[in-house]
Each structure stands twice: as structure tokens, then as C-alpha cells.
């Protein structure tokens, strides 16, 4: 019977949760706000108290772990939309699953003293040096895997930005596309899938991505003066897209980006990206 110290249990799993969230960031090339990531890690640490409960059936444990993964991802990365949220939850759950598999393998092979696993929770009474070295090794492995996954895709570099409008905000995952040469009055333009801004822009603006006549519904509203048409050349011909200037657009490094957001009904990278941005927008 392993003697469990609650401070070690919670602290260790807080640390592990933070490392797993970092792995997801590297694998998906996204970035969680530090405060949200820290709070998510704290919830992950507190959830380790499950180890004190009786052994749960496999189905119940799977449901609990999936629900917890969804909660931690929601806190750290936000919701965005269902497709991206589900992908992020699955990735986080799989990273957890692989980590737990490695720990169970170590347990079966070496049976280290002071180690316990129950209900998917790991308890290890490790020295600080061992924990630091293990973290460095895990970080290098995650970065190596991220490099392997992305090295064949240099033409599909992704950037994440935070868009704010009328007191509301959302994260956009953008494809940096050398083929995007959209400008309006010398200002670069991001082409964004209209459905990604549901809840941020009025429905009439979103529908205008398919039919500009929908903008007539905005007559007399604040948004009517914000919208400007941007000419876009595609394989199907030339069309006009509704575009607006966001209140604030922030890059991952904190820089403020100055551009327009043009709404389109196109899908980018099979739904992996929310839109396409010109490379010069992210050049220092």
C-alpha cells in the first residue's frame, strides 16, 4: 500500500497537466493564454483526487476522463467551434492515454517504489531533479514529434490570432498563404470562413459571404458603416466579399495586426484552418 501525500499528488498532476497541454500546443501549433492554461492545469491537479475513490468501471472511467479532457481543453483553449473543439479534446485525450500507457509500462517493468495508479491518475513520489529531467525529456520528445508532423508541410504554416469585436473575442487559426494577395487601399486582407465568426458578427454579415444583398438588412445599424466590399479573384472568377476592420487583432507574440477581415463561404485546409492570411502580415 503506497502512502499518498495530497500536496505531492495535486502538485505532480498539476505539473503533468501543464506538460500535456504544452504537448497539445506544440502538436497543433496553437497557443493557450498563460492564465487560462494555468487555471486548466490547476483543475487537472485537483482532479487527481480521483485516485482516492474506489476503482471505477472502465466505461465510467472513460466517460469521466473524456469529460475532464473536454473541461480542461475548454478552459485552456476556449471553444471556437464544435469541429475544432472535438479535435482538440481527442488530441488531449490521446496524449493523456499515451502518457498513462508509458507510466503503466514503467510500473509493470520496474515497479518503482512510491508509485500508484488508480482511475487513470498517476502518483509518484519523485525528487525534484528526477521530475525536471523527465520534463525535459518529455518536452524534447513532443517537440521532435511536432517537427516530424509539420516538416513536410512548410507551405501550410499556421498562425493563431485573437480577434476582438464589440466586446466579444474569438481565436482564429489561420493558414499563412503566399497565394493570398488580397488588399484594400494598401491594407492586407484575411479571408475568413464566415461560419467561424458566428456570434461575433451579425447574421446578415455572415450571409453576405454568399450573397451581398443580405447587407441591406443592416441599413441604419452600426455595422452598415463598417462593411466595405473587397474584390477577390478565384478560379471561379471575380467576386466581392464583405470585409470589416476588427476592433483588435492580436498575434501570438502580442503584436497588434492591422488588416481587414473578409468573409467567404470557402473552407480552408479541409476545415483545419479558419481562414488564409498573407505572409507579410506576420513579418516583423
Q: Are residues 194 and 117 in the same domain?
A: no
- pLDDT the model gives residue 260: 92
Cα separations in angstroms, 149 against 174, 207, 255, 274: 18, 36, 27, 20
Q: Are residues 278 and 214 in the same domain?
A: yes
Q: Are residues 143 and 166 in the same domain?
A: no
CA 180/CA 3 separation, integer angstroms: 60
Residue 127 resides in a domain: yes
Residue 1 resides in a domain: no
Q: Are residues 31 and 57 in the same domain?
A: yes
How many structural domains comprise the chain?
2
- Which of 111, 131, 152 lies at the terminal end of a domain, its last residue? 152
Q: Are residues 180 and 62 in the same domain?
A: no
Q: Are residues 135 and 173 in the same domain?
A: no
Residue 52 resides in a domain: yes
Q: Are residues 113 and 226 in the same domain?
A: no
- Which of 104, 130, 152 lies at the terminal end of a domain, its last residue? 152
Q: What per-residue string of b and e applies to 68-102 under the rule 16 or more CB within 10 Å gives b?
A: bbbebbbbbbbebbeebbeebbebbbebbeebeee
Q: Are residues 131 and 191 in the same domain?
A: no
13 CB burial (10 A radius; 0-12, 13-18, 19+):
buried
For residue 47, what are the domain limits?
Answer: 6-152
Q: Are residues 10 and 140 in the same domain?
A: yes
Per-residue pLDDT of the chain (284 residues; tens, 9 = 90+): 556 667 777 777 788 788 888 877 766 666 677 888 889 888 888 888 877 777 778 788 778 878 888 888 888 887 766 777 787 888 887 777 766 655 555 555 555 566 666 656 666 665 556 656 666 666 666 666 656 655 554 445 788 899 998 888 888 888 887 777 788 888 889 999 988 888 888 888 888 888 888 888 888 788 888 888 888 876 556 788 899 999 999 988 888 999 999 998 887 766 778 888 888 887 75
- Which of 125, 152, 179 lies at the terminal end of a domain, its last residue? 152
> Grid coordinates in use for 98?
499515451
Q: Are residues 14 and 61 in the same domain?
A: yes
Residue 128 resides in a domain: yes
Residue 101 resides in a domain: yes
Cα separations in angstroms, 209 against 118, 174, 240, 263: 51, 18, 9, 5
Residue 48 resides in a domain: yes
Q: Are residues 102 and 196 in the same domain?
A: no
Q: Which CATH number belongs to the domain containing residue 277 in this structure?
A: 2.40.70.10
CA 67/CA 247 separation, integer angstroms: 34
DSSP category for residue 228: E
CA 225/CA 200 separation, integer angstroms: 16
Question: What three-state secondary structure class fits 51?
Answer: helix
Amino acid at each position: 500500500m503506497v502512502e499518498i501525500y495530497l500536496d505531492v499528488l495535486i502538485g505532480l498532476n498539476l505539473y503533468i497537466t501543464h506538460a500535456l497541454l504544452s504537448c497539445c500546443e506544440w502538436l497543433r501549433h496553437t497557443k493557450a493564454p498563460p492564465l487560462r492554461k494555468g487555471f486548466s492545469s490547476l483543475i487537472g491537479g485537483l482532479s487527481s483526487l480521483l485516485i482516492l475513490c474506489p476503482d471505477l468501471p472502465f466505461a465510467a472511467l472513460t466517460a469521466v476522463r473524456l469529460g475532464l479532457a473536454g473541461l480542461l481543453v475548454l478552459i485552456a483553449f476556449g471553444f471556437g467551434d464544435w469541429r475544432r473543439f472535438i479535435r482538440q479534446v481527442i488530441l488531449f485525450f490521446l496524449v493523456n492515454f499515451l502518457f498513462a500507457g508509458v507510466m503503466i509500462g514503467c510500473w509493470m517493468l520496474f515497479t518503482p517504489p512510491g508509485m500508484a495508479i488508480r482511475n487513470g491518475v498517476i502518483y509518484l513520489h519523485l525528487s525534484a531533479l528526477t521530475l525536471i529531467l523527465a520534463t525535459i525529456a518529455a518536452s524534447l520528445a513532443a517537440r521532435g514529434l511536432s517537427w516530424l508532423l509539420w516538416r513536410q508541410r512548410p507551405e501550410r504554416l499556421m498562425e493563431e490570432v485573437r480577434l476582438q469585436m464589440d466586446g466579444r473575442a474569438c481565436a482564429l487559426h489561420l493558414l499563412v498563404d503566399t497565394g493570398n494577395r488580397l488588399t484594400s487601399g494598401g491594407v492586407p486582407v484575411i479571408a475568413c470562413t464566415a461560419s467561424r465568426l458566428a456570434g461575433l458578427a451579425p447574421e446578415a454579415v455572415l450571409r453576405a459571404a454568399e450573397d451581398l444583398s443580405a447587407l441591406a438588412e443592416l441599413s441604419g445599424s452600426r455595422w452598415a458603416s463598417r462593411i466595405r466590399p473587397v474584390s477577390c479573384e478565384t478560379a471561379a472568377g471575380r467576386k466581392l466579399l464583405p470585409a470589416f476592420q476588427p476592433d483588435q487583432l492580436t498575434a501570438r507574440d502580442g503584436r497588434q495586426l492591422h488588416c481587414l477581415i473578409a468573409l467567404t463561404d470557402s473552407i480552408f485546409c479541409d476545415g483545419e484552418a479558419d481562414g488564409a492570411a498573407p505572409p507579410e502580415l506576420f513579418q516583423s
